[in-house]
Structure 1
Amino acid sequence: MTSAAHDAASRPAWTPPKGKPPLSARILRATWRGLPAARHAVGREPGLEVPAADGSPLLTDHYFPRSPGDFPTLLVLSPYGRGVPWSPMYGVLFAEQGFHVVLQSCRGTGGSGGRFDLWRNEAADGHATVAWLREQPWFDGRLGTVGPSYLGYVQWALALDPPPELKAMAVQMGLHDPYDLFHADGVPRLENALAVGVGMTYQHQGTAAFARATLRLQRRLRAITGARPLRSGHLTTLAQEVPWLEDVLTHPDAEDPYWRGASTADAAERLTVPTSLVTGWHDTLADQTFAQYDRLRRAGCRTALLVGPWTHTSALQRGWPEVFTESLGWLRAQLCDDPSGLRSAPVRVHMGGANTWRELDDWPSSPAATTSWFPTTERHLTRQPPTGSAPVASFVHDPADPTPSLGGPLLSRTAGPRDNAALERRKDVVTFTGPALAEPVEILGPVSARLSVVTDTGHADVFARLCDVDAKGRSTNVCDGTARVRTTGRTPAAVTVPMSSTAHRFAAGHRIRWQISGGAHPRFARNPGTGEPALEATELSPVRITLHTDSVLLLPGTWPEVPADTP
């Protein structure tokens, strides 16, 4: 008798209950198209109480195939409730494909006991749930995890010390570093922080409560993000005190003891559990996904990566058929020994500007060289390095009228690629544009900028963006990033701005554009220009930012020679 057969024979008999998935889940499931056909009817055990690490009851719904036989188990731990959309997207869809699905509310959410404390209890509670699973008659020892966003964080937390039953992970648009979710080089990611606060506070209370809170945030966003001091503004949105939100925003230093133990990056550095990663080019957590992919590959862990033309939320909407199919194929391969759903290459990325998909052996596809582009006083981009350092452009950023954010990796419906024309007409935005391309050029990999700047107050932020300008002059954002600047006197300060990664094709006749400003508000909290912390400042000071010619835009890959015409 095989070990698996012996384990099955030794488990007590289990009689599936007669419960059905909730009507809302069945209705939503019926509306989806482009998904694999169901293999099994689905049953549900709702409201099971699983003891957390401290004994608090964690409310859990168990979805299962209504068919005889053993099936692997998927663990889905959520702070957003167990109703729509999680019940149909994870409970129903994966159960009908042949998995037990344990959909559980994190402590302090969705009716579970205890108090929710961002990131601090997930590892212990995950292990407590696995201990409970071992006692269930339907659990056959094959365990996988799946889920997006914070549901990805709980997967990484469990993987810090993976239980022996854990055989596969599918992390979708996943979080592993809470600090990076809320700050970029010390600059608060303000709009996303508010959206996370609303989601964590209200989504587990039901669709109606979450919708009302989201609309309230949209209506009051300008007043909230313009409040002085800023730290008091979120209270009018959330209508209740959320201590952890104020805590994360008022600790902008990554080395602050407050953040100790928050990141689960270490899990990927030693993991052997096969892991699938999914993100989108305009996902606010894309950089975290790329960082974990790199760690997993260096650790020798079996890994797959899918990057689509999505934002954090659209990946679970219009991108859901692709995301679901990717995760299903991976989990079935690792847990059911069925590799039929795996693609031939470990990496699949969507090429922006071309609307095509590309399969690669790795990401980036090779240790890419970089091509340097330099600004000129005529607002052009050139491949010719400057002979020295001299002022090339100067503009004033006024925090009382901050440069607005437009598109990019946000958690709101305004995320993604946008026409930047109105933004680029502002006096506090400078652009440098390259010549028209004689042939298409592709870039695949990380983009960054090294800026040489002087500020008159000594305190500023810089925001850098790569845009694709088409033959009609439409400028569309590709990727971007921000960094904090500290200067003394008239000596230029060198600052590196990570601008995320991309896979993008610039078509023949298009031009590359480098856009620079002093911020992107309210995506990032405005820099008051005074040296005060962004959340505490009550006084605002305009700051003049002067860019020097030895600044450089670094694009991955080797570019062909381009004509010397002017834009």
Structure 2
Amino acid sequence: MTSRTHDALPRQAWTPPSGKPPPSARMMRATWRNLPAKRHEAGWEPGLVVPAADGSPLRTDHYFPRAEGDFPTLVVRSPYGRGVPWSPMYGMLFAEQGFHVVLQSCRGTGGSGGRFDLWRNEADDGRATVAWLRKQSWFNGLLGTVGPSYLGYVQWALALDPPPELKAMVVQVGLHDPYALFHTDGALRLENALAVGVGMTYQHRGIGPFVRATLRLQRRLRAITTAQPLRGAYVSALGGEVPWLDDVMTHPEANDPYWLGASPGEAAERMSVPTGLITGWHDALADQTFEQYDRLRRAGCETALLVGPWTHTSALQQGWPEVFADSLAWLRAHLCADPSGLRPTGVRVHVGGAGEWRDLDDWPPTPAATSWFPAPGGYLTQQAPTDNTPLTSIRYDPADPTPSIGGPLLSRTAGPRDNSILEAREDVLTFTGPPLAEPVDVLGPVFARLSISTDTGYADVFTRLCDVDAQGRSINVCDGLAQLRTVEEAPSTVTVPMSSTAHRFAAGHRIRWQISGGAHPRYARNPGTGESSVDATDFTPVRITLHADAELMLPGSTQAAQPFEGEQPDA
């Protein structure tokens, strides 16, 4: 780090401007409940210009506590604009709690100069912003960062070469790996790609244009996602071509040179900056959060993890009181030497099905797992199979793709949903355990090991854990997808990560394992030919055969089931 630190610069008295936060921020602020009491009135200094690394003007708003004294600074860099909801959530609220907040539009967005180029400028522009901060008389040399989604990405980018002033980070439902946002094992996460395209293109232009573009995408979603070919079909919804979106959709392999340098996640492997992580069980970026937590722990970095019953968006809506309070406590502890608000343990998770929060020393809490196996007749048992004969099969037709319901998405359709209608389809397999005599808690990463053969050699396999209640409703808990490249008719074994969960299967409920050939439009449909899903114009149905040597691995669960005694799994 060659730049001089703030301590090397003379400090001058600073007279706070008289401006108040914009009316839209004050109006939204008035709607929130159950937030910590404010400590100060907030002030606002809009329209500052910070030079980017290439000299482009970065439009920046400065929020501050209207009080005398030294206060630490938070940098919040966003490609989504500086208005609602960012101005009240990050500018106004944190200023009321005793922080200077620098809310800045990323290069090429929200009035900032230059060209927005997904992920490529954030490290340099973050360092340029810190260099500007050092020249501000109100900057006391204590710096933190906070923010969700892409606002988390810019934090990891800065952490690649952390400035000495950086003392704390809070990454909320955050991104560090763009490839994993857009692809899973080579399969395009189509619905997420379209949602990101709308957000990056319109959200920084204001609420009106963003809402209209979102509604337009919803109306045209089916036509876009079933287009042949898929390439370029989004143009009607986004109002034109988006070069970076074309690029991310057409580079499905993680080792493609296109993705070189895209992920700053390696910063966590050598981190010493205390970092708080927040996600939800149905957050589209939850797996990235768990990966970063593991990296930080292995690096010996002070870290904390909060996982709520949230999706990517609901964490900042229904979950905002918990998210804000947890973020504030972490920043106060490491920037203001006030640890009074910290949780008693480093990890707090919400246990689905039980409706309770649980404090843990670490995540995952235990490496132990219980195995469940599919059996003829749609049963799920804990008795391992004795052979690997074909068990059952389904026909996946990309012309009528198996639909997606709920799960970890960026859209409003994310989260737990009743899967009963989905599971009635002929292209969906279900294996269901008996009613549980006692509650079963599953805490940690879930995996499926599948033995599959196909008649074309090309297929996807989507696998999901569900909780079936006494009324027969089948609610998704967690899931995963993998692509198959098989020798025709010969079984191939694949292990599918199904994300992580903290979930209680109540007494009387049943554990269900759901298996299908896809989940559309969450994932682009596999054409069954080996051709790219973006460019395919020909589609071939595929017969997917599940062999008996398959296994569902549930962490932390224990045997607590009554014998079948002739009960049918769908009863």
Compute the TM-score of the two structures, normalised by the length of structure 1: 0.98
**Counterpart of 1:381 in 2: which secondary structure?**
strand
The residue number in structure 2 matching 1:19 is 19
The residue number in structure 1 matching 2:409 is 410
The residue number in structure 1 matching 2:246 is 246
- Work out whether residues 440 and 560 of structure 2, in 8 Å CA contact, stay in contact via their aligned partners in 1: no
Matched, 1:395 2:407: no
- Work out whether residues 454 and 490 of structure 2, in 8 Å CA contact, stay in contact via their aligned partners in 1: no
**CA offsets 1:166-193 (integer angstroms, 9 cap, x no match):** 0000000000000000000000000010
The residue number in structure 1 matching 2:132 is 132
Matched-pair identity in %:
75
The residue number in structure 2 matching 1:360 is 360
The residue number in structure 2 matching 1:439 is 438
Query: Residues 136-535 of structure 1: matches in 2 within 5 Å?
Result: 136-366=136-366, 368-535=367-534
Larger displacement relative to structure 2 (142-151 or 449-458):
449-458
Q: Which amino acid aligns with 2:543?
A: R
**CA offsets 1:264-293 (integer angstroms, 9 cap, x no match):** 111100000000000000000000000000
User: How far apart, in 2, do the equivalents of 1:24 and 1:474 lie?
Assistant: 42
User: How far apart, in 2, do the equivalents of 1:265 and 1:8 lie?
Assistant: 31
**Counterpart of 1:74 in 2: which secondary structure?**
strand
Q: Which amino acid aligns with 1:192?
A: N
User: How far apart, in 1, do the equivalents of 2:490 and 2:402 lie?
Assistant: 25
**Counterpart of 1:210 in 2: which secondary structure?**
helix
The residue number in structure 2 matching 1:3 is none
The residue number in structure 2 matching 1:538 is 537
Shift in Å at residue 490 of structure 1?
Answer: 1.9
Over 3 Å counting, the alpha-carbon distance change for 1:402 and 1:177 in structure 2 is same
Shift in Å at residue 429 of structure 1?
Answer: 0.4
- Work out whether residues 71 and 140 of structure 2, in 8 Å CA contact, stay in contact via their aligned partners in 1: yes
Q: Which amino acid aligns with 2:259?
A: W
User: How far apart, in 2, do the equivalents of 1:558 and 1:541 lie?
Assistant: 40
**Counterpart of 1:98 in 2: which secondary structure?**
coil
Q: Which amino acid aligns with 1:50?
A: V
Q: Which amino acid aligns with 2:250?
A: T
- Work out whether residues 8 and 140 of structure 1, in 8 Å CA contact, stay in contact via their aligned partners in 2: no
User: How far apart, in 1, do the equivalents of 2:439 and 2:79 lie?
Assistant: 45
User: How far apart, in 2, do the equivalents of 1:228 and 1:560 lie?
Assistant: 48
User: How far apart, in 2, do the equivalents of 1:41 and 1:486 lie?
Assistant: 60
Shift in Å at residue 558 of structure 1?
Answer: 4.5
Q: Which amino acid aligns with 1:87?
A: S
- Work out whether residues 107 and 114 of structure 1, in 8 Å CA contact, stay in contact via their aligned partners in 2: yes
Shift in Å at residue 233 of structure 1?
Answer: 0.9
Shift in Å at residue 493 of structure 1?
Answer: 0.8
User: How far apart, in 1, do the equivalents of 2:216 and 2:493 lie?
Assistant: 41
Shift in Å at residue 460 of structure 1?
Answer: 0.3
The residue number in structure 1 matching 2:72 is 72
User: How far apart, in 1, do the equivalents of 2:513 and 2:9 lie?
Assistant: 65
User: How far apart, in 2, do the equivalents of 1:301 and 1:252 lie?
Assistant: 33
**Counterpart of 1:480 in 2: which secondary structure?**
strand
Q: Which amino acid aligns with 2:442?
A: I
Shift in Å at residue 557 of structure 1?
Answer: 1.8
User: How far apart, in 2, do the equivalents of 1:313 and 1:483 lie?
Assistant: 26
**Counterpart of 2:295 in 1: which secondary structure?**
helix
State how many pairs are aligned: 561
Query: Residues 44-83 of structure 1: matches in 2 within 5 Å?
Result: 44-83=44-83
Unaligned stretches of 5+ in structure 1?
1-5
- Work out whether residues 527 and 539 of structure 2, in 8 Å CA contact, stay in contact via their aligned partners in 1: yes
Q: Which amino acid aligns with 1:383?
A: Q
Compute the TM-score of the two structures, normalised by the length of structure 2: 0.97
Q: Which amino acid aligns with 1:453?
A: I
Query: Residues 1-16 of structure 1: matches in 2 within 5 Å?
Result: 10-16=10-16
**CA offsets 1:27-70 (integer angstroms, 9 cap, x no match):** 00011001011111111110100000000000000000000000
Shift in Å at residue 236 of structure 1?
Answer: 1.1
- Work out whether residues 352 and 503 of structure 2, in 8 Å CA contact, stay in contact via their aligned partners in 1: yes
User: How far apart, in 2, do the equivalents of 1:490 and 1:499 lie?
Assistant: 26
**Counterpart of 2:30 in 1: which secondary structure?**
helix
Q: Which amino acid aligns with 1:135?
A: K
RMSD: 1.1
User: How far apart, in 2, do the equivalents of 1:203 and 1:470 lie?
Assistant: 39
Shift in Å at residue 489 of structure 1?
Answer: 2.4
- Work out whether residues 80 and 199 of structure 1, in 8 Å CA contact, stay in contact via their aligned partners in 2: yes
**Counterpart of 1:230 in 2: which secondary structure?**
coil
Q: Which amino acid aligns with 2:180?
A: D
Q: Which amino acid aligns with 2:155?
A: Q
Over 3 Å counting, the alpha-carbon distance change for 1:417 and 1:448 in structure 2 is same
Shift in Å at residue 563 of structure 1?
Answer: 2.4
- Work out whether residues 153 and 174 of structure 2, in 8 Å CA contact, stay in contact via their aligned partners in 1: yes
**Counterpart of 2:269 in 1: which secondary structure?**
helix
User: How far apart, in 1, do the equivalents of 2:559 and 2:545 lie?
Assistant: 31
The residue number in structure 2 matching 1:122 is 122
- Work out whether residues 372 and 554 of structure 1, in 8 Å CA contact, stay in contact via their aligned partners in 2: yes
User: How far apart, in 2, do the equivalents of 1:226 and 1:501 lie?
Assistant: 30
Shift in Å at residue 496 of structure 1?
Answer: 1.1
**CA offsets 1:337-395 (integer angstroms, 9 cap, x no match):** 000110111100000001000000000112x2111111112110111111110111101
Q: Which amino acid aligns with 1:538?
A: T
Shift in Å at residue 7 of structure 1?
Answer: 5.6
Q: Which amino acid aligns with 2:218?
A: Q
**Counterpart of 2:199 in 1: which secondary structure?**
helix
The residue number in structure 1 matching 2:104 is 104
Runs of 4+ in structure 1 deviating by more than 3 angstroms, as ranges, are 6-10
User: How far apart, in 2, do the equivalents of 1:57 and 1:142 lie?
Assistant: 24
- Work out whether residues 278 and 323 of structure 1, in 8 Å CA contact, stay in contact via their aligned partners in 2: yes
Over 3 Å counting, the alpha-carbon distance change for 1:122 and 1:7 in structure 2 is closer
- Work out whether residues 191 and 521 of structure 2, in 8 Å CA contact, stay in contact via their aligned partners in 1: yes
**CA offsets 1:149-181 (integer angstroms, 9 cap, x no match):** 000000000001100000000000000000000
User: How far apart, in 2, do the equivalents of 1:284 and 1:561 lie?
Assistant: 31
User: How far apart, in 2, do the equivalents of 1:408 and 1:10 lie?
Assistant: 53
User: How far apart, in 1, do the equivalents of 2:87 and 2:488 lie?
Assistant: 58
**CA offsets 1:448-502 (integer angstroms, 9 cap, x no match):** 1011001111100000000000111111000001000011122101111110000
User: How far apart, in 2, do the equivalents of 1:219 and 1:558 lie?
Assistant: 42
User: How far apart, in 1, do the equivalents of 2:453 and 2:490 lie?
Assistant: 7
User: How far apart, in 2, do the equivalents of 1:457 and 1:359 lie?
Assistant: 48
**Counterpart of 2:372 in 1: which secondary structure?**
strand
Q: Which amino acid aligns with 2:96?
A: E
Larger displacement relative to structure 2 (252-261 or 34-43):
34-43
Q: Which amino acid aligns with 2:509?
A: H
User: How far apart, in 2, do the equivalents of 1:7 and 1:214 lie?
Assistant: 46
Q: Which amino acid aligns with 1:431?
A: T
Unaligned stretches of 5+ in structure 2?
1-5
**Counterpart of 1:231 in 2: which secondary structure?**
coil
Shift in Å at residue 296 of structure 1?
Answer: 0.2
Shift in Å at residue 561 of structure 1?
Answer: 4.9
